Structure 1
Amino acid sequence: MSENQRRIGIFDSGVGGLTVLKALYQQLPNESILYFGDTARVPYGTRSPAEIVQFSREILTWMARQNVKMVLMACNTSSALALETVRSEFDFPVLGLILPGAKAAVRQGKRIGTIATPATANSGAYRQAMLEMDSTVRVWEVGCPEFVPLIEQNRLRDPYTAKVARSYLQPLLDDRIDTLVYGCTHYPHLEPLLRQILPPTVKLVDPAVHLVAAAAKELELLGLQSERPARPTRFTVSGCPEQFAQLSAQWLGFIPAVEKVCLQSFSSSSVG
């Protein structure tokens, strides 16, 4: 297989990375994708930085063995806590969400709220990146520990989820934000709910879209764009394949074939 026809790897703790996958389908329709959801260890947002680095290294090592040409960290927690540590350990480009998301946010507004996992919020990664780009912006970051488990449990329409969302957003509403950044790739799945709570003037920034735009530029720069139609996406998880397939169908529009892979031994139940 030619270098250009190799897959792009994307990974997340679960179904959050599907928002990045959707952007890939829209912006880079010829690219073949390898998707990995670390569903056996979800959520990442309450893990320690050392654990996040270890998980990211294990996933990237496995993806290297699958002969990917690039990896997108479709997980803000990994992007915030592991990207700078692990990207130099691999001989393919590894891109994260923070810089593309921060760049888009400072173009949009001056009073910027970021909702994220506790690990991402505590890292201050978005705040630091935005202030380096524009020292005049005001940035508030809110950790939202319950969002990822609620989304992974498919409780999007549960009244409890609406109550939790209001409690997370209220401090940002009190700060009169004009822009809200999804600091976790799971959170666009909550957009209909969040839109009900936020004033219509608040602009929403989805870093996934901007990460894929950065990936497109990188592929062009390296001459690695695929010029043939994409092969079907290969979906892999560390947890229960059936659970992931059923949960993801509402966003994919089909029930995917999903493989379970074992990162520790770097082996897969099948090869695609």
Structure 2
Amino acid sequence: MRDVQNSPIGVFDSGVGGLTVLRELYRQLPQESILYFADTARLPYGNRSAAEILQFVREILIWMGKKNVKMAIMACNTSSALALEAVRREFDFPILGVILPGARAAVKRGKRIGVISTSATAKSNAYRQAIQEIDPNAQVWQVGCPEFVPLIEQNRIWEPYTRQVAQKYLQPLVSQNIDTLVYGCTHYRHLAAVIKDIVPPTVNLVDPASYVVQAAEKELKLMGLRQTTPPLPTQFAVSGSPEIFSQVSQQWLGYRPLVEQVYLPTAHHSPFTWEEVEVLD
């Protein structure tokens, strides 16, 4: 019987966006071991169909199941919006998404709430529905920001063009006199300095990464799954280039991680059809 308590927490995203969740795990749950996966070969997720996202998420969770994770955190709003409810019924470990924790935090901060997200998340209306289920009187404006993730993944955060793009996306929300702005994509926290320079200082900024980790801590405690042995070093894996991910992530991690490239198992017939995962040299 495997030692479930001391198994890792799985965290996944399309790229470096989920590092915002990883950093919160380091801060709030430093005793836990973590397996981080970035699906960099298929990013950005924001222009994918719901069927594609569900397929990708199943493949990632099958791989994480083979790695014996005790919990998985979707550090990706698009996956949380389009696939969370379906896959929760299919796997035998808890799976957490970022949208509900983010929505709960937002309604505590304001009544005029702006959400910046990928186009897929915006079209899903997941944030509006979650926020207004909690507070029917809250007003919600959503803006899809398709250029943000590629700019972040290409390490172009400080270029003048990125600020121009941010201005274009944020201006409609500022004009609505929002009092709260939700980072509806985990990547967007990496643009915090740019965003803070555009929105009024009175606007509350909500990063769901912090709140999903709080939810994870409660879940682990409730299920008796808190780690009891010293944590292992974080394992990093990607579906694309390990070198590019390692280089780009260094600025947020404070170190250059050792990253392996993996082939994901397929999930064409059933999420429980386990296939061998081949590690690339």
TM-score under structure 1 length normalisation: 0.98
Distance of 1:266 and 1:143 partners within structure 2: 37
How many residue pairs get matched? 270
The aligned counterpart of 2:47 is: 46
Distance across 2 between alignment mates of 1:71 and 1:129: 21
Shift of 1:266: 4.2
For 1:123-168, what per-residue CA distance to the aligned partner results, in whole angstroms no more than 9, with x for missing partners? 0000000000001110000000000000000000010000000000
Q: Distance between the aligned counterparts of 1:260 and 1:268, measured in 2?
A: 9
The corresponding residue for 1:126 is 127
1:210 aligns to what SS in structure 2? helix
List gaps (5 residues or longer) in structure 1. none
Distance of 1:181 and 1:204 partners within structure 2: 6
Q: Secondary structure at the residue paired with 1:216?
A: helix
**Aligned mates of 1:267, 1:83 — CA distance in 2:** 23
The secondary structure found in structure 2 opposite 1:3 is: coil
Root-mean-square deviation (Å) = 0.9
Find the residue that maps to 1:236 and give its secondary structure.
Answer: strand
CA distance in 2, matches of 1:57, 1:3: 21
Equivalent position of 1:194 in the other structure: 195
- Rounded to whole Å, the distance in 1 between the matches of 2:67 and 2:21 is 20
Contact 1:29 1:229 in 2 (8 A): no
Give secondary structure in 1 for the equivalent of 2:196: helix
Is residue 256 of structure 1 aligned with residue 257 of structure 2? yes
Does the residue aligned with 1:186 lie in a helix, a strand or coil? helix
- TM-score when normalising by structure 2: 0.95
Equivalent pairs: percent with the same residue? Answer: 64
Q: Residue 260 of structure 1 contacts residue 268 of structure 1 at CA under 8 Å; is this kept in 2?
A: no
CA displacement at 1:201 relative to structure 2? 0.4
Residues 64-79 of structure 1 correspond to what in structure 2 (within 5 A)? 64-79=65-80
Task: Indicate conservation of the 8 Å contact 1:112/1:140, yes or no.
Answer: yes
Match of 1:267 in 2: 277
The aligned amino acid for 2:41 is: A
SS at match of 2:262: strand
Please report how far the alpha carbon of residue 38 of structure 1 lies from its aligned counterpart in structure 2 after TM superposition: 0.1
- Aligned amino acid, residue 208 of structure 1: A
Moved segments of 4+, more than 3 Å: none
Could you tell me how far apart the structure 2 residues matched to 1:71 and 1:137 are?
A: 30
5+ long unaligned stretches in structure 2? 266-274
Please name the residue that 1:114 is paired with: 115
Mapped to 1, the partners of 2:208 and 2:241 lie a distance apart of 28
Q: Is the 8 A contact 1:237 1:259 kept in 2?
A: yes
Residue 121 of structure 1 aligns to a residue in which SS? helix
Tell me what 1:182 maps to. Answer: 183
After superposition, the C-alpha distances for 1:31-64 in whole angstroms (9 at most, x for unaligned) are 0000000000000000000000000000001100
Listed as ranges, the matches of 1:133-152 within 5 Å are 133-152=134-153
Q: CA deviation at 1:267?
A: 1.1
